[in-house]
Amino acid sequence: MHFPLPPHGGELINTLASASEREKWLQKAPSLPRLTLNERELSDIDMLACGALSPLKGFMGQADYESVVEKMRLANGLVWSLPITLSVKEENASKYEVDADVALYAPTGECLAILHVKEKYKYDKEREAEKVYKTKEEKHPGVAAVYAQGPVYLGGPVTVLNRVKYDDFSEYRKDPAELRKIFQEKKWRTIVGFQTRNPIHRAHEYIQKCALEIVDGLLVHPLVGATKSDDIPAAVRMKCYEALLKNYYPLDRTYLSVFPAAMRYAGPREAIFHALVRKNYGCTHFIVGRDHAGVGSYYGTYEAQELFDQFELEDLGILPLKFENSFWCKRTGGMATAKTSPSGPDEQVSLSGTKVRDMLRAGQLPPPEFSRPEVAKILIEAMKGS
């Protein structure tokens, strides 16, 4: 292996306009057909802007879309597991012509990008739902998002004029090129990425530190884009991460940054996506735990890990580190998994998320074997105000 590892597809794609190009397009934008992006599309355009979605240069055309849905590969054969698409309502589709340009706007009214439309095509919503999310049930949040979309996709490259403006986590928002430079300055050759949309409890801490034993650095990379309404807000989670890292992690070997993606809750496919994108941010390894990016009971406990086995390491270009469910083992007096503990279920401290939430709402600290007290206190305070 040569370090640092190249981005997915070989290079970080830069879709940002030059200063002169930006001025030209900003003047032209008011005369172009207009499309306002939703929350998930805002995340996608921001990641297209900074190269996080390399090798994509824009929203997928039909060949890439069909290939990704069916085979988890782009039309050129490169591994890619989730459609990155832009939909429009059927009654508005005639406004957007092939080989013409569309101005993409934020809900605030700011022009963010120009889409150079190369294709306009219809797609089968139920087929996308079944292939990508493994269910047609609308109660699945990812499927609900697909069903709520328009029935026509616009495909083509984008020229980004303005980055999405965020008013939170500014010190933690690092683009792939920035993180790669930081890792180089730290002389980290091997970096393990950890994806999370939840507070980190002792089981997460255990697998992160196991991984840290075999690499130079750990990137804690929480997702802060759109999530379900009942997920813990990103601002609360970030306080938890800060407290945890400050008190329990080696700061010279750990780095906290935020991941601007929206959750799709696509389980195994999203695990592959999370790994490939972390490769763009400079990671060489990626932690895959139980029920990665899952929701409800749609996916098997270790189905995400099993999906990685369908791809050659050379095709992925990042090494998945697979961990079983971990717990506090009363017999050995430490964190363990079924692979390392001789104990039975009655000797294992492993609480359900529902049980923990009930304790936190009641102002009770979960046992220290499950959660660090600093994290639990932050969550209790947040739940008081909700």
Mark whether 229 and 81 lie in a shared domain.
no
One of 14, 38, 162, 198 is an active-site residue; which one?
Answer: 198
d(CA 112, CA 256): 27
According to the model, what pLDDT value does residue 1 have?
62
Has residue 4 been placed in a domain?
no
The yes-or-no verdict on residue 260 having pLDDT over 90 is yes
Has residue 236 been placed in a domain?
yes
Active site residue 197: yes
Active site residue 198: yes
Residue 358's H or E segment, with its range, is helix 353-361
Whose tokens are 């690092």? That residue is 174
Has residue 331 been placed in a domain?
yes
Mark whether 192 and 152 lie in a shared domain.
no
Mean pLDDT of 303-309: 97
Which sign does the torsion angle of CA 44, 81, 259, 376 carry?
positive
Domain hosting 118: range is: 19-160
| Count of beta carbons in the 10 Å neighbourhood of residue 288 | 24
Mark whether 194 and 240 lie in a shared domain.
yes
Which of these, 189, 241, 133, lies nearest to 1 by C-alpha position? Answer: 189
One of 197, 202, 269, 290 is an active-site residue; which one?
Answer: 197
pLDDT band at 56; cut points 50, 70, 90: very high
Indicate the pairing of strand 111-116 with strand 101-105: antiparallel
Q: Residue 140 sits in a domain of what CATH number?
A: 3.10.400.10
Whose tokens are 């990671």? That residue is 283
The yes-or-no verdict on residue 353 having pLDDT over 90 is no
Distances (CA, A) of 237 to 47, 196, 240, 306: 21, 10, 5, 29
pLDDT over 70 percentage in the chain: 98
Mark whether 290 and 324 lie in a shared domain.
yes
The yes-or-no verdict on residue 230 having pLDDT over 90 is no
According to the model, what pLDDT value does residue 277 have?
98
According to the model, what pLDDT value does residue 228 have?
87
Instruction: Write the single-letter amino acid at 262.
Output: A
Mean pLDDT for the chain?
95
Mark whether 229 and 128 lie in a shared domain.
no
Which of these, 56, 64, 52, 321, lies nearest to 176 by C-alpha position? Answer: 52
**Which of 19-23, 195-199, 213-217, 353-357 shows the lowest mean pLDDT across its residues?**
353-357
According to the model, what pLDDT value does residue 276 have?
98
> Tokens in use for 321?
């580190």
Q: Give the model confidence (pLDDT) of 122-161 as tens digits.
A: 999 999 999 999 999 999 999 999 999 999 999 999 999 9
Mark whether 228 and 122 lie in a shared domain.
no
Q: Residue 371 sits in a domain of what CATH number?
A: 3.40.50.620
According to the model, what pLDDT value does residue 385 have?
65
According to the model, what pLDDT value does residue 384 have?
82
According to the model, what pLDDT value does residue 355 have?
81
According to the model, what pLDDT value does residue 2 have?
66
The yes-or-no verdict on residue 48 having pLDDT over 70 is yes
